[in-house]
Amino acid sequence: MAEERPPRLVDYFVIAGLAGDGAPIPEETWVPEPSGPLRPPRPAEPITDVAVIARALGEEVPQGYTCIQASTGGHPLELSAGLLGGTQPVICYRRGRDKPPLVELGVLSEGKERPKPGFQVLDTTPYSHSANLAPPGPGHPRTYLTYRRAAEGAGLHALGITDLCLILPSKGEGTPHTYYRLPRNLNLGMWGPAVYLCYKVGLAKANTLVYEAELLGRYPEEDNEAFPLPESVPVFCLPMGATIECWPAQTKYPVPVFSTFVLTGAAGDKVYGAALQFYEAFPRARLSERQARALGLLSAVERGRALGGRAVRSRRAIAVLSRWPAFPAFRAFLTFLYRYSVSGPHRLPLEAHISHFIHNVPFPSPQRPRILVQMSPYDNLLLCQPVSSPLPLSGASFLQLLQSLDPEQAIVLLLAVLTEQKLLVHSLRPDLLTSVCEALVSMIFPLHWQCPYIPLCPLVLADVLSAPVPFIVGIHSSYFDLHDPPADVICVDLDTNTLFPSEEKKPLSPRTLPRRPYKVLLATLTNLYQQLDQTYTGPEEEASLEFLLTDYEAVCGRRARLEREVQGAFLRFMACLLKGYRDFLRPLTQAPSEGARDVDNLFFLQGFLKSRERSSHKLYSQLLHTQMFSQFIEECSFGSARHAALEFFDSCVDKVHPEQEKPEPTPLVELEELSGSELTVFITPPEEPPAPEGSESTPQYCYDGFPELRAELFESPREQPGALPVPGPSRSAPSSPAPRRTKQEMKVAQRMAQKSAAVPELWARCLLGHCYGLWFLCLPAYVRSAPSRVRALHTAYQVLRQMESRKVVLPDEVCYRVLMQLCSHYGQPVLSVRVMLDMRRAGIVPNTITYGYYNKAVLESKWPSGTPGGRLRWAKLRNVVLGAAQFRQPLRERWQRRRQQKQQEEVDTAAQEAGSCQTEPDLERPSPTRPLQRQTTWAGRSLRDPASPKGRLVKSGSLGSARGAQPTVEAGVAHMIGALGVLEPRASPAPWHDGSLSDLSLTGEEPAPGGSPGDSGSALSTQSTETLEGSSGQVPKAGGRQDEASTPRRGLGARLQQLLTPSRRSPASRVPPPELPPDLPPPARRSPMDSLLHPRERPGSTASESSASLGSEWDLSESSLSSVSLRRSSERLSDTPGSFQPPSLEILLSSCSLCRTCDSLVYDEEIMAGWAPDDSNLNTTCPFCACAFVPLLSVQTLDSRPSAPSPKPTPAGASGSKDAPVPGGPGPVLSDRRLCLALDEPQLCNGHMGGTSRRVEGGAWAYLSPLVLRKELESLVENEGSEVLALPELPAAHPIIFWNLLWYFQRLRLPSILPCLVLASCDGPPHPQAPSPWIMPDPASVQVRLLWDVLTPDPNSCPPLYVLWRVHSQIPQRVVWPGPVPASLSLALLESVLRHVGLNEVHKAIGLLLETLGPPPTGLHLQRGIYREILFLTMAALGKDHVDIVAFDKKYKSAFNKLASSMSKEELRQRRAQMPTPKAIDCRKCFGAPLEC
């Protein structure tokens, strides 16, 4: 798969300003509509001097100065009033442009403090008297005014003080809007009110015309469908309008002004913009006479005479738009372009740099964490990957928020945002507005601001300030030179650290916040506020290349740490504020009605309010009725694109403790290292055009201002740009419902795995949980390929129940989530409700993602009709019939026992007379073969094995499918009674005459004579019922209805057992029982211990007739017919007479791997125990040498299908032979040893009878841990969709993933379509006219066997003991041992080992083997440990079903400890005599019964 195109850093480049086509400018200037009362016009000149005069000393106001004689309210002012010897100081100021303006004022107490750097002390009056503001006397230190002046050459547009005033707070006067108040009282006398000096900083300029900005140029010219260029971009680039100004001719150009803005789309997605504003010369010819007079270019006295010494300038802006808030990078790039346009000449056009930057500079990613862009030999730009955080990416700067406002003011703003107040943020620095406004909407995470939000509001949109809805608006402070703010708005002045509360609505006090979380937040912000001065705040665009490569990351790392700590403080407060909110969510549990999405129906508001502190009820009352809280509850209830962030917030809620007065030691936002990878991608400047041969290239591009863009000069992109990627969580294929976990879920799963690795039992359950997660990831493809999708969904629900019953440690909720969304997709809301109830019953609180999928499934799916209908009534009637049958069961058992005693001799005689023509053995009579059939099946699986695959019996027909006349209630009852097989007449001579097996469960409820203790008759009857399903249709009918000939019915005991314990269904048989030839009399019953103590008599014994099969044969039909009962392969066998066919393809799988270091075989449970709790580590640890190695999963496919269809010749005499069983018919019982051994090898290994050649293919792939496999599977599904899991190309395209999935699904008996994919891949590509890729071959034609030992033994190694036992016992095997057999490994040794084991002397067996093998390195080397050799030998001699491995482990452990007293444990370990670790034993227990050798 080709590498995906990385996302662009910049999407559009635009130029905004006045149209430069040479046309005259319109006469009407654009003036915004006033949203408040107009103010007097601002002064044309700034304040350049301030002075203090002493009235008492006879000083007069100097010429050109203005004296402040009254307060803002008109009250007279007198400093040091009433004091004897006072000088009566008065403050004066002067305006002008002859010197740089004043930019800051202060008050200095002599002897107590020093002047600030850059400040000058005003210590004398213009008349050389003392300018002391304090009254004379020893108790009053001298107090002077201080000032700071702008730097020389600051130009016309330097910020300066534009106005001064004095206020009297005692008279009710407050600080005027946009003014800064000095904190010192200037009236230090004993009498008189307190007087404070206030000043305003701004731009003082006149002769300006303002117009609405227009779009002058853009690149690229075409809009992208995923991200069209908004039409309002020009007015945001120049928020105060495109101006034409008149300057003195010698005035220098000001430094360009950088600004940022945010555009919000209809869906809530954000577009970030950055603009650079600058001035250019403007031709006078484009101005009319009226415009020239307004600019001061014409004399007001002499009409039409032009004034000299004036220059006309216009303001323009260049800007970039992006989906990423990389404002420092945008600033550097725009600054480079501006410098490029005012310098030159250049060899490359400006357009080449623009197109090169847009097309070739990607946004940093994990593959490209650091990107160094070299725009020119002197201009460099470094991009670093943002810190990986579950919080949404934004342009917020919490540090600038704290620098502009102190912690107390920041908390007041937080309270205002939580209660949805009208906030107006203003500053003279436009780039500061966006950062602070973004921080305001980010500090309330997880709530999302729903009202109008304009971080940098142009004047054209200023009417939003009069809107009757809450808003957060940022605006330039010069707006208030013309207008007063609205009365119902909270104004925030970032330049003066002042909050102006609303005049109409009194805001809440911070005391209404929860007390302890508020204290922790205030203390944390205060501590961080004190650390801000120590960080570097220099201009990053001026940084050199050496700084970017050395100190940049360290500086940015410190700032990023403080930034995250401030954000984490607000996040902790919000988590404490909403602690426990999930307990008050109301899930939908019935068909939705009108108003189902209302907050009152989704959240218990009153209950949540009562659970909070009483002192905070006023705050919560307003918060719960805000739009953002309603949206938050709706997102939690129905899911949204922010589900990953909400899930992270839930984890934060679980971590915080609101009752504590200190923050938690572990930070909520985990900061990852910026330099996680040293990879740096260098992007060089665009290539210069080649010069002609023999000449040097001369610069030809020189600009007088920023040029108009020419399309022919742009570089064409190197590749065709596709759809622009949108940041955020990637969307999976429609068929794959949220298969990929969020980053937070992955971190939680990783932590759970690390904790579980230390506890053996938890580690096994952790692996098991990931295995079930793998199956549910494949569930969408499985459901889509199932014949009945609704039945497949119910099967998945049963798997879920089975998983809960096994107490699996689930690392996440993906299993529930996938099933819920599939229920929504296929319209099964009732099943979704059952899944939710099971979750809560299991104690699992669904997170935001799962809860959203659940409510969505309930809300959007079509619900069944409100009336229960006939299904519920028939179910009730069925229960009544079953109950009545249960009451009659004791009477029937008594009658059957009498009947058995009377007919015993007759039945035995009839069985002998029947011979080979016997169609079906009567299982109701006790026979010598019955006890063996209760102990073991033909494949070696015990009927009592609780871990065996469970299956559902074939129903004789549904209640609504009765054949014949129109169904009635009476007919339905009769059909049900007949289908259930109960209440038959007592005098029925042959209950099975019509093929019905309804009486087998009743006769089997009591143990048969000769049966082993503990065997259950009900288990026998159920197994027998299912065993005969495949051959019931082949029995000649003696009577009964013809339509029931091939519909065997279930026994009552099995029916009740399924009803009461649905997870303990009986195993289904794959192969019909072979018929017993009459010439072989059944031998007497012997116990397995007799065979163990006398192994030489084994050829004539009946112990462990499954010795050729140490484990169970796992074909697809059995694995599919698990306890969840999904596959219907057994229905095919039972419904079609004589339809049994041997498997066409046999798949052998083994996870047994060889450790190359110590040449030892490591088995499945030991491999599982050695895996690391890491989803990227493929190694396991060898239990013998403790070395790490990659285990392998060996695969071997045996294809028995003929290359060309041809009839098979019948061997001579085969038709008349009584020893050969009829394929598909009844086979021999296991007491017939000779016939069993004759049939074992062909049927066990080949899956069919006869000598058809088989094509054998094999291979080995890495055996992956479920943690690693899940990560790889999630990546595959995310990239290619879940459809790939049902394509025949999967085994060849992704063999590692495929074979590992097949291994785990077969290991846990989970239904899947993977075996069919192997057969489909062998058939080649599907026909082009195939209607769907979901058509699969018959699953019964594929047989999958999981082997415990290696598939192909090493001929150079020592043979295993269990293989030698089979060789000595002349038992056919799957693979013949290819190498020599040591003489010391004789049959006598094997018998001695087995005898010691049988006599509970395992320590003697171990010692005997150790003595026989000899000490290393001269002795025999076994690749298997002593434990494994003795265990396999015992299972081969007794049969897997007669060996209790748990008891064997206890005996072996006791024997090991006994031997350790004479031999050291270290020596025993060196000779590989130790038993598996507890972790390995627990893995074997959790993953089911032992496998086959």
Contact 198, 221 (CB under 8 A): no
Q: How many Å apart are CA 1084 and CA 627, to the nearest integer?
A: 83
Tokens of 1427: 């434990």
Contact 258, 252 (CB under 8 A): no
Ranked by mean pLDDT, which of 234-248, 735-749, 847-861 comes out on top?
Answer: 234-248
Q: Is the pLDDT of residue 1095 over 60?
A: no
Task: Give DSSP secondary structure letters for 12-81.
Answer: EEEEEES--SSPPPPSSPP-PPPSSPBPPPPPSS-EEEEEEEEGGGT--PPTTEEE--B-TTS-B--TTT
**pLDDT 10s digits, 1065-1094:** 333 333 333 333 333 334 443 444 344 434
Which residues lie closer than 8 Å to 574 by C-beta, 6 or more apart? 443, 444, 445, 446, 447, 649
Decide: residue 704, CB within 10 A, 0-12 exposed, 13-18 middle, 19+ buried: exposed
Nearest to 1030 by CA among 899, 952, 1135: 1135
Q: Is the pLDDT of residue 28 over 50?
A: yes
**Mean pLDDT of the region 750-761:** 87
Tokens of 66: 């203005």
**pLDDT 10s digits, 1124-1135:** 333 333 333 333
Q: Is the pLDDT of residue 690 over 60?
A: yes
At residue 1253, the pLDDT reads 59
Sign (positive/negative) of CA torsion 626, 630, 635, 641? Answer: negative
Q: Is the pLDDT of residue 1369 over 90?
A: no
**pLDDT 10s digits, 1145-1196:** 888 889 999 888 888 889 888 999 999 998 888 999 998 888 999 999 999 8
| C-alpha to C-alpha distances, 1161 to 667, 1425, 1426, nearest whole angstrom | 46, 8, 12
Q: How many Å apart are CA 1021 and CA 1018, to the nearest integer?
A: 5
Q: Is the pLDDT of residue 1221 over 50?
A: no
Which residues lie closer than 8 Å to 139 by C-beta, 6 or more apart? none
Write down the residue that tokens 């082993």 correspond to: 1012
Q: Is the pLDDT of residue 1058 over 70?
A: no
Instruction: Kindly state the percentage of the chain with pLDDT values over 90.
Output: 18
Ranked by mean pLDDT, which of 33-37, 62-66, 1232-1236, 1436-1440 comes out on top?
Answer: 62-66
At residue 912, the pLDDT reads 61
Q: How many Å apart are CA 221 and CA 218, to the nearest integer?
A: 6
Q: How many Å apart are CA 235 and CA 1152, to the nearest integer?
A: 70
> 517 by DSSP, 3-state: which?
helix
**pLDDT 10s digits, 471-519:** 999 999 888 887 888 888 999 999 888 888 887 777 788 889 999 999 9
Buried b (16+ CB within 10 A) or exposed e, 640-654: bebbbbbbbbbbbbe
The residues pairing with 1160 across neighbouring beta strands, listed in sequence order, are 1155
At residue 1325, the pLDDT reads 54
Q: Is the pLDDT of residue 1269 over 80?
A: yes
At residue 1190, the pLDDT reads 92
Largest Cα separation within the chain, whole Å, is 149
At residue 1233, the pLDDT reads 35
Nearest to 496 by CA among 198, 257, 93, 260: 198
Q: How many Å apart are CA 1262 and CA 1296, to the nearest integer?
A: 6
Per-residue DSSP letter, 1244: I
Contact 863, 599 (CB under 8 A): no
Confidence of residue 1321 (pLDDT cuts 50, 70, 90): confident
Kindly report the number of other CB atoms within 10 A of residue 1479's CB atom. Answer: 22
**Mean pLDDT of the region 297-326:** 81
Q: How many Å apart are CA 788 and CA 785, to the nearest integer?
A: 9
At residue 719, the pLDDT reads 52
Q: Is the pLDDT of residue 253 over 90?
A: no
Q: How many Å apart are CA 999 and CA 983, to the nearest integer?
A: 10
Give helix 627-638 / helix 643-655 axis angle, nearest 10°: 100
Q: Is the pLDDT of residue 949 over 50?
A: no
Q: Pick the residue with more confidence: 870 or 1267? A: 1267
Confidence of residue 259 (pLDDT cuts 50, 70, 90): very high
Q: Is the pLDDT of residue 1119 over 70?
A: no
Q: Is the pLDDT of residue 1218 over 70?
A: no
Tokens of 828: 């099964």
Which residues lie closer than 8 Å to 421 by C-beta, 6 or more apart? 470, 490, 502, 505, 507
Tokens of 502: 């609303």
Confidence of residue 363 (pLDDT cuts 50, 70, 90): confident
Per-residue DSSP letter, 1259: E
Contact 644, 744 (CB under 8 A): yes
Per-residue DSSP letter, 165: E
**pLDDT 10s digits, 172-225:** 888 888 888 998 888 876 677 889 999 998 887 767 888 889 999 999 888 887
| C-alpha to C-alpha distances, 114 to 103, 110, 119, 1170, 1348, nearest whole angstrom | 19, 8, 10, 70, 86
Lowest mean pLDDT among 317-326, 506-515, 604-613, 1248-1257: 1248-1257
Contact 1078, 1460 (CB under 8 A): no
Q: How many Å apart are CA 630 and CA 487, to the nearest integer?
A: 28
Confidence of residue 1039 (pLDDT cuts 50, 70, 90): very low
At residue 423, the pLDDT reads 93
| C-alpha to C-alpha distances, 1187 to 527, 1155, 1157, 1159, nearest whole angstrom | 50, 8, 7, 11
**Mean pLDDT of the region 918-942:** 36
At residue 697, the pLDDT reads 63
**pLDDT 10s digits, 635-678:** 888 877 787 788 888 888 988 998 888 888 877 876 554 444 56
Q: Is the pLDDT of residue 273 over 90?
A: yes
Q: Is the pLDDT of residue 803 over 90?
A: no
Nearest to 211 by CA among 273, 275, 291: 291
| C-alpha to C-alpha distances, 869 to 872, 873, 876, nearest whole angstrom | 6, 7, 12
**pLDDT 10s digits, 1299-1315:** 999 999 998 989 988 88
**pLDDT 10s digits, 998-1031:** 333 333 333 333 333 333 333 323 333 333 333 3
**Mean pLDDT of the region 801-824:** 86
**pLDDT 10s digits, 1447-1493:** 888 998 898 888 888 888 788 888 888 888 889 888 888 887 667 76
Confidence of residue 418 (pLDDT cuts 50, 70, 90): very high
One-letter identity of residue 932: L
Nearest to 579 by CA among 446, 484, 405: 446
- Pair type for strands 270-281 and 257-264: antiparallel
The residues pairing with 496 across neighbouring beta strands, listed in sequence order, are none
Which residues lie closer than 8 Å to 1042 by C-beta, 6 or more apart? none
At residue 473, the pLDDT reads 94
**pLDDT 10s digits, 542-594:** 445 555 455 555 666 777 788 888 999 999 999 999 999 988 998 887 777 77
Q: Mean pLDDT, the chain, as a whole number?
A: 74
At residue 772, the pLDDT reads 92
**Mean pLDDT of the region 857-863:** 80
Q: How many Å apart are CA 205 and CA 77, to the nearest integer?
A: 30
pTM equals 0.70
At residue 805, the pLDDT reads 85
At residue 534, the pLDDT reads 58
At residue 726, the pLDDT reads 39
Q: How far is CA 407 from the centre of its chain?
A: 35
Lowest mean pLDDT among 840-844, 890-894, 902-906: 902-906
Q: Is the pLDDT of residue 991 over 50?
A: no
Q: From the DSSP assignment, how many helices (H) and strands (E) are in the chain?
A: 45, 32
Q: How many Å apart are CA 1251 and CA 1483, to the nearest integer?
A: 40
At residue 227, the pLDDT reads 80
At residue 286, the pLDDT reads 85
Buried b (16+ CB within 10 A) or exposed e, 1421-1448: ebbbbbbbbbbbbbbbbbbbbbbebeeb
Q: Pick the residue with more confidence: 770 or 900? A: 770
**pLDDT 10s digits, 1224-1239:** 333 333 333 333 333 3
At residue 443, the pLDDT reads 93
